[in-house]
């Protein structure tokens, strides 16, 4: 695993850190792990952008960071779709049902739109 998800890590982990790790660790299991992590970071940074008033430097920075996570999320979504096709699951859109199928294949369960690794 790349990291344990905690409040300290959220503040220092970058999309580039995850890209670098994923470039070396590139199995379907790693994709499931990274997709889950990036989704959590995407939500965190999307929410953080609302902490600032628009047209302030803080808002612009928060938006830039969110956009970096969003680009990574979109890339991983495409990779999940490609992985599903390898398992004869065909869909053009990565909705919750398609994502749940992929995540279940790799030991995750869904609860309220969030995925948790089964122990």
Q: Is residue 50 part of a domain?
A: yes
Distance CA 115, CA 62 (A): 25
Task: At 75, list the tokens.
Answer: 């890339």
| Whether the Cβ atoms of residue 13 and residue 23 lie closer than 8 Å to each other | no
Ramachandran category for residue 107: left, alpha or beta (phi over 0 → left; psi -120 to 50 → alpha): left
Q: What is the pLDDT of residues 56-86, one digit of tens each?
A: 999 999 999 999 999 999 999 999 999 999 9
Q: Check pLDDT > 60 for residue 2.
A: no
Q: Is residue 2 part of a domain?
A: no
pTM of the model: 0.86
Q: Check pLDDT > 70 for residue 3.
A: no
DSSP letter for each residue of 67-96: HHHHHHHHHHHHHHHHHHHHTT---SS--H
* Residue with the larger pLDDT of the pair 85 and 10: 85
Tell me the average pLDDT across 27-37: 94
Q: Taking the chain, what is the end-to-end CA distance rounded to the nearest angstrom?
A: 14
Give how far Cα 107 sits from Cα of 19, 40, 58, 93, 115, Å. 22, 17, 38, 22, 10
- Residue 59's domain comprises 7-117
Question: Count of domains in the chain?
Answer: 1
* Residue with the larger pLDDT of the pair 103 and 1: 103
């Amino acid at each position: 695993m790349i990291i344990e998800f905690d409040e300290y890590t959220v503040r220092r982990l970058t999309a580039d850190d995850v890209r670098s790790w994923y470039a070396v660790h590139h199995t379907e299991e790693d994709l499931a792990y990274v997709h889950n992590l990036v989704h959590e970071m995407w939500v965190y940074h999307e929410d953080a952008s609302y902490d600032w008033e628009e047209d302030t430097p803080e808002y612009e920075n928060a938006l830039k960071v969110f956009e970096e996570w969003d680009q990574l999320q979109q890339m991983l979504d495409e990779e999940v779709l490609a992985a599903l096709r390898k398992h004869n699951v065909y869909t053009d859109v990565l909705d919750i049902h398609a994502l749940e199928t992929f995540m279940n294949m790799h030991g995750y369960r869904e609860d309220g739109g969030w995925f948790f690794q089964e122990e």
